[in-house]
Structure 1
């Protein structure tokens, strides 16, 4: 959970800090640095509101647990978090070099209106969105114990790392490729989202809310494979495996529980869990790589089409040359008619 908390906090905090940093830098450039304090004030209010949202969310989760309905809320949060993570990943993938210009345009409109309240609200909403998303993701990765995720070293280190990176970026002390960081964290977030999806499906199958297309002769949900011998998903499963076979698995269950918490690893997946995991990864790969490939195909003709393109270019060039020659000849004839003396001398 600590690594998940680090990645989520790092990504969400970095996005919020970059947007706030762009606003502050733009205000300073436009000689309105005296408004920067209101930007930070709005960000501070959003941070307080995020902690308030975490508290209220924890109260709701505790109430469901007391009513014995925590499993229903558990898989609901997992599936909702998967959907929210997917939306965030695809949204950020669409951002381009014009991102800073769009933020500055919004701030410019606020400056034109001359409203401090609008500036506070804008910075407040920007940071609040990231804060609420973080709380929601923490609820999913911690099984409902948001306080545990908030106080983990992963969340603290993620916040510190985001602050340091944002500071270096705006100070310009070093050349930092933010796109490389976002690409790396995007891959990890996709894996986390896939894991949440699989865990949600697993919980629903355990609760008999959904069935399976593949069942054992006894009617139980079947396993398409079982690799407990390689890496159990929990230390307890490792103990059972040693008891039943007298052998130790190749990789400890302590490692397995880490991969289960981080990536949704399961030692014996059902058909639906296996299919959902790989279909999700394939779908995200297509969505995240489709546009660059299409742009590449449009920008450069294929090998088969290149001779045709060259022929068309050649014909176009020849036609242009012929047209230019004809125009020059016509111009010379006209000049000769208008000035016979010049024509005779030539």
Structure 2
């Protein structure tokens, strides 16, 4: 859970800090430092609102638990989080290059109109979006115990690393392009999303919401049990210990969605998810190539006409 929390908070906090940093740096560059305080005001209000959302979310989850329906809520959260995490990776890959230009354009309009409220609202919405997404993802990886994720070392470390990356980026000392950063972290986020999808399917099968053609495709408990309890049960039943401990299994389950005894549906969903992501990536690359090639082809045709 802590590794998941670290990656999620790193991505979300970095995106928020980059946008706020771009705004404040631009305001200083165009000699409008007096507006900087309003940007930070919006960001601070968004952080407070995100804490409120976390408390409200926890209250709602407690209500579902009291009604005995928390399992259904957990499943819904996991499936929606899978979609949101996947969308987040693609959105950042598409907009990271033009983010600076887009944000500065909005600030120009706010400065020209003297729209202080617009600056506050813009920074508020930017940070709030990341905060709400973080709350939702924490609910997914902790099965509803958002407080556990917020209090762990993963969330704090993710924020600290994001702050450091942002600092070095705006100081001009960071040589690695942000696009590379987002590609690497995006790959881990995709793994987390796939793991959440598989866990959702496993929970649906546990409560009988969906069946299974083959409940256990294989059994790797002898090698790597997915939980310390499974480790203890294996020792009890077989008299020998698995090669790796259950703590290692918990780590891989949290990060990659590992299961020592997956059903056929889990295996298909896991592989299918990566196939869909791969197809989406390749199709987007094809569309971008087509967009780049069209002007080049048109220029060549025009040149040929002029020669003739």
Q: TM-score, normalization: structure 2?
A: 0.92
Unaligned 5+ residue runs, structure 2? 294-299
Match of 2:217 in 1: 224
- Bigger RCO of structures 1 and 2 (CA < 8 A, at least 6 apart): 2
Unaligned 5+ residue runs, structure 1? 216-221, 301-311, 324-346
Match of 2:296 in 1: none
Which structure has the bigger radius of gyration?
1
Deviation of 1:96 after TM superposition, in Å, equals: 4.7
Deviation of 1:244 after TM superposition, in Å, equals: 2.0
Match of 1:98 in 2: 98
CA contact (8 A) 1:93 1:288 kept: no
Match of 1:259 in 2: 252
Deviation of 1:299 after TM superposition, in Å, equals: 7.7
Report the CA distance shift for 1:92/1:234 in structure 2 as closer, same or farther (over 3 A): same
Say if 2:70 is the partner of 1:70.
Answer: yes
- Residues 283-302 of structure 1 deviation map (CA, whole Å, 9 limit, x = unaligned): 112222433356568989xx
Match of 1:236 among 222, 229, 237: 229
Q: Any residues of structure 2 matched to 1:110-121 within 5 Å, and which?
A: 110-121=110-121
Match of 1:177 in 2: 177
Match of 1:165 in 2: 165
Match of 2:153 in 1: 153
Say if 2:49 is the partner of 1:56.
Answer: no
Say if 2:120 is the partner of 1:140.
Answer: no
Match of 2:297 in 1: none
Deviation of 1:158 after TM superposition, in Å, equals: 0.6
Report the CA distance shift for 1:197/1:108 in structure 2 as closer, same or farther (over 3 A): same
The count of corresponding residues between Structure 1 and Structure 2 is 301
Counterpart-to-counterpart distance in 2, 1:262 and 1:202: 16
- Residues 5-30 of structure 1 deviation map (CA, whole Å, 9 limit, x = unaligned): 10000000000000011111111111
Q: Which has the larger displacement, 88-97 or 52-61?
A: 88-97
CA contact (8 A) 1:169 1:176 kept: no
Match of 1:292 in 2: 285
Match of 1:279 in 2: 272
Counterpart-to-counterpart distance in 1, 2:288 and 2:143: 42
Counterpart-to-counterpart distance in 1, 2:222 and 2:35: 62
Counterpart-to-counterpart distance in 1, 2:290 and 2:237: 56
Counterpart-to-counterpart distance in 2, 1:138 and 1:110: 34
Match of 1:205 in 2: 205
Q: Secondary structure at the match of 1:21?
A: helix
Q: Which has the larger displacement, 5-14 or 86-95?
A: 86-95
CA RMSD of aligned residues (A): 2.2
Counterpart-to-counterpart distance in 2, 1:10 and 1:130: 11
- Residues 102-136 of structure 1 deviation map (CA, whole Å, 9 limit, x = unaligned): 11111111112211111100000000000000000
Match of 1:24 in 2: 24
Deviation of 1:262 after TM superposition, in Å, equals: 2.0
- Residues 260-292 of structure 1 deviation map (CA, whole Å, 9 limit, x = unaligned): 122211111111111001110111122224333
Say if 2:264 is the partner of 1:268.
Answer: no
Q: TM-score, normalization: structure 1?
A: 0.82
Match of 2:242 in 1: 249
Runs of 4+ in 1 over 3 A off after TM superposition: 289-300
Report the CA distance shift for 1:14/1:230 in structure 2 as closer, same or farther (over 3 A): same
Q: Secondary structure at the match of 1:84?
A: helix
Counterpart-to-counterpart distance in 2, 1:127 and 1:96: 16
Deviation of 1:176 after TM superposition, in Å, equals: 3.3
